[in-house]
Amino acid sequence: MAAFTAEAPKKYLIGGNWKCNGSMASVTKLISELNACGPIPPHVEVVVGAPALHVMLVSSLLRKDIAVAAQDCGSYGKDGAYTGECSAAMIKDAGCEWVIVGHSERRGSFGGDYAESSVVIAKKTQAAVAAGLKVMLCVGETLEQREADKIAEVVCAEQLGACAGMFPPAIWANQIAIAYEPVWAIGTGKTATPEMAQETHAMIRGWLDGEIGPDAARAVRIQYGGSMKGANAAGLLAQPDIDGGLIGGASLTPDFITGCACACPLEK
């Protein structure tokens, strides 16, 4: 196994997914509100995932201590005859540092016959890493899969397993964060209890341990992505294997910083 070296001390990762929301006017207003929030704690990294049409606006106006992510990227790893796609190279050129891949909405809830498979998502992750982007790789189970006790089978063996062997430990630790998002808790107002979330995060950490070794596994940031907001962030972020959040609705308000980023504890 390749030697592992961390590029920087591990920070909490608070990502915001704006999804398909906003006009030029409303996005400009939101940027102004986020810019006016107080300082971000030094042990926290904050990223916002903007719609593709707004990425350039966000990159130009948003405070520089908040990074910008695209919400998806092409799986081909290059420019070319892929109408409607944005390649990883284009995303990097537009000023993004991050990209979100594998969100549950793209895996199934609106994809229908065109739902993205774990193999496609692994190819997107590979393309993004090759372009020098960092990746928030989303995984998670449906309510039916949870009730059938198939979390490990779906989240680790199938979804993460598609990326098994693709990257050395240093890439996992420095360029890939895993966002665990129980599908039944996204946009529903339901949230896994901190203990439920911790159990699955620990399962993911165990999978990483077997794939890339214990040191690199500890360095990988695992975010919780199911209806986190200021009111429940502290309890979730206090769990030993929860290293941040991938936040939807609350990221469209200043609560994203004042309630979520500022809830990251100094020590666990």
Name the pTM for this structure: 0.95
Q: Is residue 4's pLDDT more than 90?
A: no
pLDDT computed for residue 87 by the predictor:
96
> In order of start, what are the domains of the chain with their CATH numbers?
14-263 (3.20.20.70)
Q: What was the pLDDT predicted at 1?
A: 66
Average pLDDT over residues 6-28: 95
- Please report the pLDDT score of residue 109 as a whole number: 64
Distance in angstroms (rounded) separating the CA atoms of residues 121 and 127: 10
Q: What is the pLDDT of residues 58-73, one digit of tens each?
A: 999 999 999 999 999 9
Place of tokens 């190819």: 123
**Strand ranges, E, within the chain:** 12-17, 44-50, 66-70, 98-101, 134-139, 176-180, 222-224, 244-247
- Give the residue-averaged pLDDT of 25-41: 98
In whole angstroms, how far apart are CA 257 and each of 75, 176, 207?
A: 31, 22, 31
Q: Of the listed 105, 116, 141, 181, which one is catalytic?
A: 181
Is 195 labeled as catalytic in the residue annotation?
Answer: no
pLDDT over 80 at 190, yes or no: no
Q: Any catalytic annotation for residue 181? A: yes
Candidates 45, 54, 103, 116; catalytic one: 103
Q: What are the beta bridge partners of residue 48?
A: 16, 68
Report yes or no: 238 and 268 within 8 Å, Cβ to Cβ: yes
CA distance 79 to 77: 7
Q: Are 129 and 167 within 8 A, CB to CB?
A: yes
Question: What's the whole-number mean pLDDT along residues 234-261?
Answer: 97
Reported confidence tier of residue 111, pLDDT bands at 50, 70, 90 = low
Q: What is the mean pLDDT of residues 85-89?
A: 95
> Which one has a higher pLDDT value, 212 or 112?
212
Sign of CA dihedral 33, 239, 215, 131: negative
